[in-house]
Chains A and B, each alone.
Chain A
Amino acid sequence: MNADSSWVTFLVMLSPFIAAFFAPALTRLLKHNAAWLLALVPALVFVHFASFAPKIADGGVVTGGFRWVPSFNVNFSWYVDGLSLTFALLISGIGALIVLYSGGYLKNNAHLGRFFSFILMFMGSMLGLVLSDSFLMFFVYWELTSITSFLLIGFDHTRAASRRAAIQALVVTGGGGLLLLAGLLLIWNVTGLTEMSLLLRSGDLLRESPFYLAIFVLVLGGAFTKSAQFPLHFWLPNAMEAPTPVSAYLHSATMVKAGVYLLMRLNPVLGDTVAWETVLPIFGGATLIVGTLLAIRQTDLKLMLAYTTVSSLGLLVLLTGFGTEMAIAGGVLYLIAHSMFKGALFMVAGSVDHGAGTRDITRLGGLMRIMPITFGAAIVSAVSMAGIWPMFGFLAKEELYLGLFATQTWPLLMTFVAFVGNGLMFAIGFAVALKPFLGDLKADSDHPHESHILIWLGPAVLAGLSFLTALFSPLTHHFLSSPMASAVAGETVSVYISLMPHIGMPLLLSTVTIIFGVTVYLMLDRARALMARILDAIGWGPDRGFDQFVNGVVRLSFAVTGWHQSGRMENYMKATFIIVAAAILLPMVLNGELPAWPAFSDDIHFYELAIMAIAAIGLIAVLQAKNRLTAIVSLGIQGFAVALIFMLFGAPDLSFTQFMVETLSVVILALAMTRLRLTPTDHRPTREVIVDSTIALLCGLAFVLMLLRVVQVPFDPTLSEFFKQYSLSIAHGANIVNVILVDFRGTDTWGEIAVVLIAGLAIHALIRIRSGKRRGEMAANEPSE
């Protein structure tokens, strides 16, 4: 790969973000017609990646990149194989249609520019996700899709339901993202690799690692949240609060498949184990069944589609986990088919909503004549979804039955699960595509009408592709299915299935599926009523569980905050001093650094002891003082005693300063305190006295022990000797203390002077503020009143 084309790919990967930057200004200029221009960007992306197709179809890969953080061996690098390519083409191709569709759908929305910006940013993130080679890049893009999804779901942010759905999606997928991050870090730790392409060549390294299960669970945590697997599926239907283009693009065709992409990407290194082949089909199968059953319950077109999306994702996970080549090929075909038909059906739902004023299936009917193009797209897509000849969905269904069916218990069970899921999806697909269009004309809008070209273009093109890809299946397989299936399986897989029906088990199963589906379709109203009763009987679901969880977190944090931020200063002080005592005492005790029993030598003079005793008495007197004056005087006593101590132990400078400062302190304290009407003593209840004095004594003890320990180690006089030696010779001063202050540590003293000055200014300002100015304001907030 030469540098030039490397740059082109890099620019192409960046282009949606660049377009997102200019989208708002462009939309202000051109209104909704900006869509035509903006859709060129994904179209160009599509063309760029389509040009890789021949090389990749021949078994090649396209790589490139830059060194990003060389010291951590992190690169900005991409890796395009069959899997990435198919995803990139789906993202950019459907993306172009979605941009056009958005222009029509949100034509009169004041924030259309912002919407374009968000959706293009999402496109760039999703593109980056599927092209990333390095784990870090992959993770960053993964989280970016969650964030852009959050922005898009909450696009209509004035509605509480949108906000809730947005937060829910972010919490669930973001939480999964963290699990994935842990998983990727673990993989990095085990293999020492930071790139997917190298990891894919690492063979059994991960499978044989003792951390396999942990990696497996963490990766699944990421994949299952992103791809809405039961019981974490609930955020996806709620995400339907987003405008329809978002539902069609993020929550059906692309983003929710990121989890499946991850599983498919790691299948060659994580798959083929008992855990993989058991857990994935079980969760996938459960999701498939639960999704379809819940879909039956709905009457809103978008919600019906959303729940079938959940089931389709379940089916994909099931197939990925099943592990046989055929099953993987079936999964690959189904993924491509699903992106086309589900994207189209979502856009149809939006078109119906736009033209007829409602999405409620019970209030719609007979729109066939009025919305012929929409109807055509709907019916073609539903045929593909149902897996009926001659659409691409048919190929997918044949292949997956071919892959699943075998006569052992486990494959039989999985085949049965897929059969039930497919049958129910058949019914719902046709309910969406037929019920609004057949029968008597019913609509909420007074003038139901066919939608704007921007709106019908997307579904029409996708529906057409559902047919064309099936018709020219050898081409589709050569460029997309086979390379993708090979990348997923980790070995060369060729997909041959075509529209020529083969008599055999799959065709029989397909036929039975269709019969089952038709039966359910005819009984849909009764089935819906039944499901509604069952769900009402159950009552609780993960969706409500999410609310309970969030409320629980809020209550918990409120309680915790209320406990540790009590608003009572003495509690904060207690906590502080307990920690001070513990910080000094615990390390000494734990490390066995307690001081030896001190020697009470008798080399102390009587007058020294006397002054120390005076200081102690002064201190006790401060505590015991019954009135202010006594307290102030006692404070003075201990201060002067300290000054005397300094004098006795060779520090006359300290002594003079201390004398001066203590005098000043006592004077200003007396001045201030006599002006305040204060309660003379503080009466604490006995219990508090005990607690407080315990804390105080512990602190005292801690400092005593620390200081004892300090004086028991030999004194290191290096610094003091330095000052003694150089004070006269360098600084020309005989008083060493003064020399240190004004010379050796002159800058320090300068800072000290600044502090004193600032304190003086602050005092001056405090006194000059006229009291009473804000008094009324403060009093209004006083809780005692």
Chain B
Amino acid sequence: METYMILLVGVFFSVAVYLFLSRHIIRILLGAAILGNAVNLLIFTSGRLTREVPPIIATGPTGTPETMANPLPQALILTAIVISFSFFAFLLVLTYRTYQELDTDDTDEMRFAEPRGQQMPPLEY
């Protein structure tokens, strides 16, 4: 069943990268959100998939199950989800403010730091 999951991860990455290659910041932002999920699933899958049994140690009479999900990737992903969310929120506000200032969300129009037609540096000493 990992194979299907892996193919899904591939789709996530492809879509995220395609969105990243856009000229519109808002699309890049969508790409960032998806890329976060893509990486999380990548980590999740590389820790192997186990159905339905959460990594919780039973303290009651039922006893701890023989096999349970791998807890380590879950811990990593939990951190990643939260961080990518705060990152996403920050980028969103940055985009919003950029749009307010520059009146565009086209990266090609944002030429404040790298203006078009830069002059050759002087050739004398």
Which residues on A are within 8 Å of B, measured CB to CB? Answer: 160, 163-164, 167, 550-551, 554-555, 558, 562, 565, 567-570, 573-574, 577, 598-601, 603-604, 608-609, 612, 615-616, 619-620, 622-623, 631, 635, 638-639, 642, 645-646, 648-654, 657-658, 661, 664-665, 668-669, 672-673, 675-676, 678-679, 682, 684, 692-693, 695-697, 699-704, 707-708, 710-711, 715, 717, 719-720, 723-724, 727-728, 734-737, 740-741, 745, 748-749, 752, 755-756, 759-760, 762-763, 766-767, 769, 771, 774-775, 778, 781-784
Contacts and interface: CB of A to CB of B under 8 A. Distances in A.
B79 to A, nearest CB: 5
A635 B30 contact: yes
Contacts of A675: 96
A679 B107 CA distance: 13
Given A554-B121, A745-B75, 4 more contacts: A567-B114, A700-B14, A715-B48, A741-B75
A752 B79 contact: yes
Contacts of A695: 17, 21
Contacts of A652: 54
Contact of B2 (A650, A651, A711, A734): A711
B47 to A, nearest CB: 8
Of the candidates B8, B18, B30, B77, the one having the most CB atoms from chain A within 10 angstroms of its own CB is: B18
Given A577-B20, A755-B83, A651 B54 contact: yes
Contacts of B26: 673, 676, 678
A708 B89 CA distance: 33
A734 B59 contact: yes
Query: Chain A: interface secondary structure?
Result: helix
Contact of B45 (A707, A723, A783): A707
Contact of A619 (B21, B34, B81): B34
12 contacts: A600-B3, A649-B51, A657-B82, A661-B81, A672-B96, A700-B13, A703-B9, A707-B9, A734-B58, A740-B72, A755-B83, A756-B83
A755 B120 CA distance: 42
A672 B86 contact: no
Interface string B69-103: 11110110111011101111110111111011110
B75 A782 contact: no
Given A570-B21, A649-B51, A724-B57, A661 B123 contact: no
Interface in B24-80: 24, 26-27, 29-30, 33-34, 37-38, 40-42, 44-59, 68-72, 74-75, 77-79
Most-contacted residue by chain B among A654, A665, A760 (CB, 10 A): A654
A679 B78 CA distance: 35
Contact of A737 (B2, B4, B55): B55
A711 B10 contact: no
A234 to B, nearest CB: 15
B112 A608 contact: no
Contacts of B9: 703-704, 707
Contact of B81 (A599, A657, A669): A657
A680 B73 CA distance: 37
B56 to A, nearest CB: 5
Nearest to A154: B125
Given A569-B107, A650-B50, A620 B15 contact: yes
A448 B26 CA distance: 79
A491 B53 CA distance: 89
Given A649-B69, A700-B11, A707-B6, A728 B57 contact: yes
Nearest to A631: B30
Residue among A612, A649, A734 with the highest chain B CB neighbour number at 10 A: A649
Contact of A696 (B18, B24, B82): B18
A762 to B, nearest CB: 6
Contact of B86 (A555, A620, A759): A759
B18 A679 contact: no
A255 B53 CA distance: 81
Nearest to A697: B14
B115 A781 contact: yes
A518 to B, nearest CB: 42
Contacts of A558: 120-121
Contact of B8 (A567, A616, A717): A616
A778 B71 contact: no
Nearest to A642: B37
Contacts of A717: 70
B55 A736 contact: yes
Interface in B105-125: 105, 107-112, 114-116, 118, 120-121, 123-125
Contacts of A703: 9-10, 13, 38, 42
B13 A603 contact: no
A497 B5 CA distance: 95
Given A574-B21, A704-B10, A711-B46, A737 B112 contact: no
A701 B7 CA distance: 9
A756 B82 contact: yes
Nearest to B99: A676
Nearest to A598: B3
Contacts of A565: 114
A75 to B, nearest CB: 40
A598 B81 CA distance: 29
Contacts of A650: 50-55, 68-69
B34 A638 contact: yes
Contacts of A740: 71-72, 75
B24 to A, nearest CB: 5
A767 B74 CA distance: 34
Contact of B72 (A163, A167, A622, A719): A719
A741 B78 contact: yes
Nearest to A753: B82
Contacts of A781: 112, 115
Residue among A569, A603, A702 with max Cβ neighbours from chain B (10 Å): A569
B52 A648 contact: yes
B30 to A, nearest CB: 6
A775 to B, nearest CB: 7
B57 A736 contact: yes
A447 to B, nearest CB: 36
A781 B109 CA distance: 12
A648 B92 contact: no
A727 B17 CA distance: 38
A734 B56 contact: yes
B51 A648 contact: yes
Contact of B107 (A570, A736, A784): A570
Contacts of A697: 14
A707 B1 contact: no
A65 B98 CA distance: 63
A569 B55 CA distance: 43
Contacts of A678: 24, 26, 99, 105
